[in-house]
Structure 1
Amino acid sequence: MLAIDRLKKIEELLKENGSIVISQLSDLLDVSEETIRRDLEKLSKTMKFKRVRGGAYLYESSDTEVPVKIRERIYIKEKQIIGVKSVSFIDDGDTIMLDSSTTALYIAKNLNLSKKKVTVITNSIKITNELADNSLIKIICLGGTLRRRTKSYVGYMTTDSLMNLSADKAFVSCSSIDLFFGVTDNHNLEARVRKGMLTNSVKKFLVVDYTKFEKPAVNKICNIKDLDVIIVDRQLSDENLEILKKHKIEVVCCE
């Protein structure tokens, strides 16, 4: 396929699907991933879209978060080790809450292999599907308005349902962490769901990779002091660890 035809095809797929994954395009168009990256660089001069590690997506005025099908394909190793470590904190008989993050999805994947008998409360379609055939796990799926970008339910029906539920442990992720401002998210409705999960759980876990320790996103989920445990893929800076220690937060490094 000529380069000009390849660019046209990528543009068509972006407009049709809203996002593309570099590895998938590489297979589809039978070229290297580096070639696709160069094509995206050329295409960015004539078309507005956001490039991220692993793919690209079109902007939506109301939703700036990276689509779930791209997030599922980045930082896979980090999410896997966080998933394994998180399951070690889950006991037989626990009721747990899992948000719609791809990190939580990896907790579900590893929970599926653990043979533990638990109840899972989630707003994630992907997590529900992941655990659907496991007879040891009772699933409570929160309804609401479907957010297609993350394959999750959000809105007042979701948060109203959460008000009547409680759990032993909540495992949530976020868009960004500022150790002074707090835990934040790019999407206001998703932030409210995550806040509700933390509020209604006895023990509160934040599960994140190291890249989340940056400037805060727009919507606050909670203060740092509201957390009990942070599970992260690699060692944090001494400065960050000192701040978290002052708030009596347990930091579990998977590295």
Structure 2
Amino acid sequence: MEAQERRELIERRILSDGEASFKTLSQEFGVSEMTVRRDLELLEQSGSVRRIMGGAIAAHGTAVEPGFDARALVSAREKVGISIAAVGHLIPGETVVLDSGSTALAVARTIVGRGLGLTVVTPSILVAAELHNEPNTTVLVTGGTVRPGELSLIGAESVAAFDRYNCDVYIMGVSGVDGKRGLSDYSNEEAAVKRAALRAAERVIVVADASKLGRVHLTNVALPGEIDLLITDGPADHPALVGLRAAGVTVECVPSL
């Protein structure tokens, strides 16, 4: 296969899936990871993709959100470490907004069995199902329209639900974290729910694995100054984390399990 043809196929693959790792592309096209890196460097110069730690994503505004099952497999072990750290910041008896998404679901699974006696407000059917039998835990589901595949609740009813609650903390999952632009997401409707949840909470903890760092998606969710704490497995010197610290955000980097 000629180099130009390979780069065109790599570009098509990333724009279709939204992201791909160096290792996956190396195996798929039968070339070294160094060759893949050089291909991606050229594609980045053309503006179609962006390189990130471990791979590349579609450039701003072009990425298609990967399915929930695919996201759940990405950095699965790292999400456990992030979740343990996040739950360590919860105080027994608090009212917690727990977001939708694969990392928030990992947090819910970490809460199970800890006897925290929380009140959990969530727009996620999966989170509610995970916690519904947890002793001394009250689970409030926002209502709204079920988003296929995600099993999250979106729309005006879900947004309005947060106007009724005063919550202690919001544990937010997000698709993009940037030092200047803050948090962003693929979906306008998901982002609207996140912004409503943010307004309802006294403090905001963002949980994001390293693959989310440096990404900027179409829809803004929050500026850096609206975040209290970011927990990630990314390197402390990542430009996105450096930018957040400069904006006054506390960043907690956890080791991979």
Is the Cα–Cα contact under 8 Å of residues 98 and 170 in structure 2 kept in the other structure?
yes
Q: Give the aligned partner of residue 252 of structure 1.
A: 252
CA RMSD of aligned residues (A): 2.1
Q: Give the aligned partner of residue 45 of structure 1.
A: none
CA offset digits 1:182-214 (Å, max 9, x no partner)? 210000000011111111100111110111112
Change (3 A) 1:241 1:216: closer
Match of 2:244, as an amino acid? Answer: L
Q: Give the aligned partner of residue 237 of structure 1.
A: 237
1:144 is aligned to 2:144: yes
Counterpart CA distance in 2 for 1:64 and 1:148 is 15
Is the Cα–Cα contact under 8 Å of residues 176 and 185 in structure 2 kept in the other structure?
yes
Change (3 A) 1:102 1:239: closer
Structure 1 residue 137: Cα displacement: 1.0
Is the Cα–Cα contact under 8 Å of residues 209 and 233 in structure 1 kept in the other structure?
yes
Q: Note the residue ranges of structure 1 that are not aligned, 5 or more in a row.
A: 1-18, 20-33, 39-62
CA offset digits 1:101-137 (Å, max 9, x no partner)? 1101111001012111100000101101101111221
Count how many residue pairs are aligned between Structure 1 and Structure 2: 198
Q: Give the aligned partner of residue 48 of structure 1.
A: none
SS of the aligned residue for 1:195 comes to helix
Counterpart CA distance in 2 for 1:238 and 1:80 is 21
Change (3 A) 1:140 1:242: same
Match of 1:153, as an amino acid? Answer: L
Structure 1 residue 235: Cα displacement: 2.3
Match of 1:162, as an amino acid? Answer: F
Matched ranges for 1:80-229 at <5 A: 80-229=80-229
Is the Cα–Cα contact under 8 Å of residues 186 and 219 in structure 2 kept in the other structure?
yes
Counterpart CA distance in 2 for 1:129 and 1:187 is 23
Counterpart CA distance in 2 for 1:215 and 1:68 is 18
Is the Cα–Cα contact under 8 Å of residues 210 and 236 in structure 1 kept in the other structure?
no
Match of 2:67, as an amino acid? Answer: P
Structure 1 residue 238: Cα displacement: 5.8
Counterpart CA distance in 1 for 2:239 and 2:216 is 17
Is the Cα–Cα contact under 8 Å of residues 145 and 155 in structure 1 kept in the other structure?
yes
TM-score (norm 2): 0.72
Counterpart CA distance in 2 for 1:234 and 1:142 is 31
Counterpart CA distance in 1 for 2:234 and 2:181 is 22
- Structure 1: which 4+ aligned runs deviate by more than 2 Å? 238-246
Match of 1:220, as an amino acid? Answer: N
Q: Note the residue ranges of structure 2 that are not aligned, 5 or more in a row.
A: 1-16, 18-23, 29-62
Structure 1 residue 175: Cα displacement: 1.0
Change (3 A) 1:135 1:224: same
SS of the aligned residue for 1:163 comes to helix
Counterpart CA distance in 1 for 2:73 and 2:249 is 30
SS of the aligned residue for 1:109 comes to helix
Match of 1:157, as an amino acid? Answer: E
